[in-house]
């Protein structure tokens, strides 16, 4: 079965295109790039899929940072993205529960 590539990501009501880019790694030494004006996230194509996932999380946080005008320093943003990516990967069932609006905690027995 062929794996479908991600083509868009919805970020706080904005439909952001996710596009492969062969040149950003070479031209700008970047693995990814968020372009607010073009509503686009470019991901370098010469990376392992797992790295592309981490870069996508980074660029999503870049978009939230810009959208909410948080002005988070890039080193903090990078650390946050790495940590969040690790949590997402380590907890697929929890992520599905969050996405599905399912209860995260049960009702205690004594209630
Ligand atoms: Zn960045």
For 32-52, what is each residue's pLDDT tens digit? 999 999 999 999 988 888 789
Domain range summary for the chain, segments of one domain joined by + = 8-99
Check: pTM over 0.85? Answer yes or no. yes
Nearest to 62 by CA among 72, 50, 48: 72
56 C-alpha to ligand 1 centroid (Å): 10
pLDDT given at position 111: 66
Mean pLDDT per 10-residue segment, the chain (111 residues): 80 96 79 95 87 94 97 97 96 94 85 66
Taking the C-alpha atoms of residue 111 and residue 94, their distance in angstroms, rounded to an integer, is: 24
5 C-alpha to ligand 1 centroid (Å): 21
Class of domain 8-99: mainly alpha
6-9 CB contacts, 8 Å cutoff, 24+ apart: 6/56, 9/41, 9/56, 9/60
């Amino acid at each position: 079965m062929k794996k479908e590539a991600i083509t868009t990501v919805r970020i706080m009501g904005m439909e952001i295109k996710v596009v492969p880019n062969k040149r950003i790694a070479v031209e700008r030494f970047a693995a990814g790039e968020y372009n607010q004006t073009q509503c686009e996230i470019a991901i370098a194509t010469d990376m392992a899929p797992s790295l592309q996932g981490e870069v996508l999380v980074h660029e999503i946080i870049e978009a939230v940072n810009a959208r909410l005008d948080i002005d988070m320093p890039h080193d903090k943003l990078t650390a946050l993205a790495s940590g969040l990516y690790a949590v997402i990967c380590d907890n697929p069932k929890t992520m599905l529960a969050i996405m599905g609006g399912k209860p995260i905690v049960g009702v205690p027995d004594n209630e």
